Amino acid sequence: MIELHERTPKLLEKGNYVRFLSPEENFSPTFKANVIYQVKSNVQVVFYTAFIIPPGDVSLVKLNNDEDALGLYPENPKTLYEVLVGFGGTEDIIIYPMMPSTDYLLYLEKAGMRPNPGLPQLRYLGMYTTSDSPVNNPRLVLYFVKDMDQFALQLYNTNTKEDEKLIVRFVINKCYLEEVREEVKAPVKDILHYKLLRW
């Protein structure tokens, strides 16, 4: 559900195939795991937003469809959102992916090797800065389907003297999917459940 590429990846197109991988029978309430779906139609929607974070402070930006969130999850049970995310504005704000929104998504295997903005030696673990996925060359991709667990970005302003602004550009590739029952020989794009990122 989250991928950081070396360069801007190609978006899914009409006719492409995807498969959701999950440790459970279902990837989400609306999509089955290990079943192949085909993109029947798609369209790209661009959305810019920005956040001003006070010195040394932390903000939690939820991306799902809650009242206080950005609303970047589909409502249609057959829709997949493939979201390219680019950051601009300042290098001083670091961005932690959170999934579910109370847990850091990315960490290492040794005990204690988890992000911790309060500890300088662990502050820059499992996070992104604007240069990891710049606005004009986005490399971070997220995948959202209806009623998925809540994904969030935790924004931490490392500048202890000044407010900083982070600009975020989302390119949302709205894909309408249909289940495929016949055998598929073409390449299939695998989309991993976040629980598969924690082995």
Partner 1 sequence: MPAVVVTANTEGETAFETPIIRVGKILGIIINNQSANDITISITDKFTPSPTVTNPSPTEKEVTKFEVTIPSGQYETFNLSRSPIKILGTCRVVASATDTACKIAIIYSFELI
User: Contact positions toward partner 1, by CB under 8 A?
Assistant: 48-54, 57-61, 88-90, 130, 134-136, 155, 162-165, 167
Token pair in block for residue 172? 């949302």
* Closer to partner 1 by Cβ: residue 118 or 187: 118
CB 89 within 8 A of CB 166: yes
Spatial distance between the Cα atoms of 150 and 152, rounded to a whole number of angstroms: 7
* Closer to partner 1 by Cβ: residue 82 or 164: 164
* Closer to partner 1 by Cβ: residue 52 or 108: 52
* Closer to partner 1 by Cβ: residue 33 or 135: 135
* Closer to partner 1 by Cβ: residue 48 or 124: 48
Q: From 58, 23, 82, select the one nearest 152 (Cα to Cα).
A: 58
Give me the residues paired with residue 143 across strands.
82
CB 36 within 8 A of CB 42: no
3-state secondary structure of 108: coil
* Closer to partner 1 by Cβ: residue 84 or 148: 84
